[in-house]
Amino acid sequence: MNLFTKAVRPLAALLTATLLTATPSFAGDHPAAATTAGMQICGKANDAVREYAAVIEKTRKEQPQLAEALRLFPKGADLHNHLSGTVPAEKYLALAADDGACFGPEGNTGRYTLAGATSSGGCGDGFKSISGASPEDRERILQSLSMYRFDYADTQQGHDHFFATFARFRAVSDNVCNTPAMLAEVLRQSRQDGVSYLETMLSFQSSAVNALAKQLRQKYPKEESYRNVRQFPAMQRFLLDAGLADTVTAARTEIAQYVNKTRTLLNCGSAGQEGACGVTYAFVATVNRTSALPDGTPDLAKVFTQAAFSMLLSASESRVVGVNLLSKEDAPVSLAGFRDQMQIFRFFHETFPGVNIALHAGELTPCFVGNGNPALKEHLTGTLKAGARRIGHGVSFAFLKPEQKLEVADQIRRNNALVEIMFTSNAQILGVAGTEHPFAQYRAYGVPVAFASDDEGVSHANLTDEWIYGVRKYGLTRDDLQYLGRNSLQYSFMSGEPLWADVAREKPVEACSGDVPGSATPSRRCETFLKQSAKAAAQWDYEARLKEYWRNYGRYFGKR
């Protein structure tokens, strides 16, 4: 099975169809911007991250066989994965040394940051070559690039340090020459954690997209333009005339190079290929919700351009299976721009109905935005209305009133959407874990969920930790584990129809209703269905892996 063999519509035909259907059916007056609280300082103690870490450490120490069994558990898909945030800090140090990069102090923060070498090949004032870093320097760099040995004085400091790490390793992660090595590293980690399919978030052609955004801003300088959906088709046509399609073509070439170079690094197709070659993967293009103008107000021209580019790229490139809106959700610019951003996404969802959308939403708590802030609910409902098929984090659900939870849960189920659960980063960033975390609440409301990794490198953790915590903290059974694994593939953006008509009830689609999923001899009708769907074929293979796993490790999880 090859995820990337589906037919791709010719780009010229796609552009023509886009322009013909670009008048939005939802055009209307833009609602008043949501009231946002001023900058909140979340100074509460982060007991959650200590409790979370203690559960993982105790399990690995006292029940090493269970921890290993959970590492080997076939986890299906990792659906919420940031490529740059997943690469370990240790790998960034190695790549930085190969690049001849430098390190030095980040202002007066007490942290180190990485920087490229000067034009002469040396380091700037106050910076030193990575290759000459002492053991003490390397330790301090690792602490600066990740949550490694972070002391969590309070929740705010953990939150701020987590998001600050990305800028510190950007000199290495933004170097496109390093992308194949980063991808190879992430695939190795995915295989190590029992993942068979990965969707990883990445931005493409950033400089070219930023240049297009600048042109759009010059053409449409008034902020009101980006709130008037009637102007959106003209703005999209302007970007197309300015070279958007050429930028998409360049991105497709870039992606092909990444894929080919990654295969070479992993020796795929040769006798000595690495096991990571067996992990199927795809990309999710990204839009940055914290894009801001010099005065700190939302840069809606950049958001519109990034969305236009990402949606067209996903519509024309099979290896880009969706689009996501990311970055710090509680930032003032994110809160102020949320409704405008959702209106932009809703327009492109109407324009490209076949493109998958998965948005970060609800990575908020009252500690950061204030008690009763409408954003706690509206970031969930607004995301769903904008076309999201998956919600990343969804933590704010835990802080809603019962009637609000019922409304949100109903909307998620009606949209047949999934919530991606990430215990590690929720504990580190938000100070939320255990009974305060909405994982069990979502399940009680019948909302589909799946575990994901988020930023393993920054977190200095791995995906298996999410599963260990789920088993030890929430008492997950073998039925729960395979439900979560099945969900991850069911709600993936792989092409084709899914195997399951109802995952919770273990009900296959009608074509395979008389078969045992995962069997070596499916019926002719089911076999035909599987050949027509990459997703269903992957799910069938997953069922076979589950059966083998339970035969070998079922004793750790009790009888069915």
Q: What does the alpha-carbon distance between residue 402 and residue 371 come to, in Å, rounded to a whole number?
A: 15
Model pLDDT for residues 8-64, shown as the tens digit of each residue: 344 544 544 444 444 444 444 444 344 444 457 898 999 999 999 999 999 999 999
Quote the pTM value.
0.93
pLDDT at 560: 54
pLDDT at 558: 72
Residue predicted with more confidence, 139 or 34: 139
Backbone angles phi, psi at 117, to 5 degrees: -70, 155
- Percentage of the residues of the chain whose pLDDT score is greater than 90: 90
What confidence category does residue 559 fall into, taking pLDDT thresholds of 50, 70 and 90?
Answer: low
* Strands 128-129, 102-105: pairing kind: antiparallel
Average pLDDT, the chain: 93
Model pLDDT for residues 202-211, shown as the tens digit of each residue: 999 999 999 9
* Residue owning tokens 């297009």: 212
Beta carbons of 529 and 511 less than 8 angstroms apart: yes
pLDDT at 40: 72
Helix residue ranges, H only, 299-331: 300-316
Half-sphere exposure of residue 403: CA atoms within 13 angstroms, side-chain side = 0
Q: What is the mean pLDDT of residues 373-377?
A: 97
> Three-state SS string across 121-149, please?
CCCCCCCEEHHHCCHHHHHHHHHHHCCCC
* Residue owning tokens 């050429």: 246
User: Chain-centre distance of CA 297, in angstroms?
Assistant: 25
How many CB atoms are closer than 10 A to CB 345? 25
The structural domains of the chain, ordered by start, are 46-88+153-494 (3.20.20.140), 89-145 (no CATH), 496-553 (no CATH)
Residue predicted with more confidence, 396 or 28: 396
Beta carbons of 127 and 104 less than 8 angstroms apart: yes
Q: What is the mean pLDDT of residues 520-535?
A: 97
pLDDT score of 262 more than 90: yes
pLDDT score of 174 more than 60: yes
Q: What is the mean pLDDT of residues 315-337?
A: 97
Q: What does the alpha-carbon distance between residue 142 and residue 158 come to, in Å, rounded to a whole number?
A: 15
Model pLDDT for residues 382-392, shown as the tens digit of each residue: 999 999 999 99
Which among 457, 448, 480, 486 is positioned nearest to 467, based on CA atoms?
480
Model pLDDT for residues 263-293, shown as the tens digit of each residue: 999 999 999 999 999 999 999 999 999 999 9
Model pLDDT for residues 91-115, shown as the tens digit of each residue: 999 999 999 999 999 999 999 999 9
* Residue 554 exposed, middle or buried by CB count within 10 Å (0-12, 13-18, 19+): middle
- 3-class secondary structure, 450: strand
Q: What is the mean pLDDT of residues 125-154?
A: 94
How many CB atoms are closer than 10 A to CB 224? 10
pLDDT at 463: 98
pLDDT at 359: 97
Model pLDDT for residues 467-511, shown as the tens digit of each residue: 999 999 999 999 999 999 999 999 999 999 999 999 999 999 999
pLDDT score of 1 more than 50: no
Handedness of CA 83, 89, 94, 97 (dihedral sign): positive
Q: What is the mean pLDDT of residues 229-242?
A: 98
pLDDT at 20: 43
* Residue owning tokens 């979560």: 484
Q: What does the alpha-carbon distance between residue 191 and residue 276 come to, in Å, rounded to a whole number?
A: 6
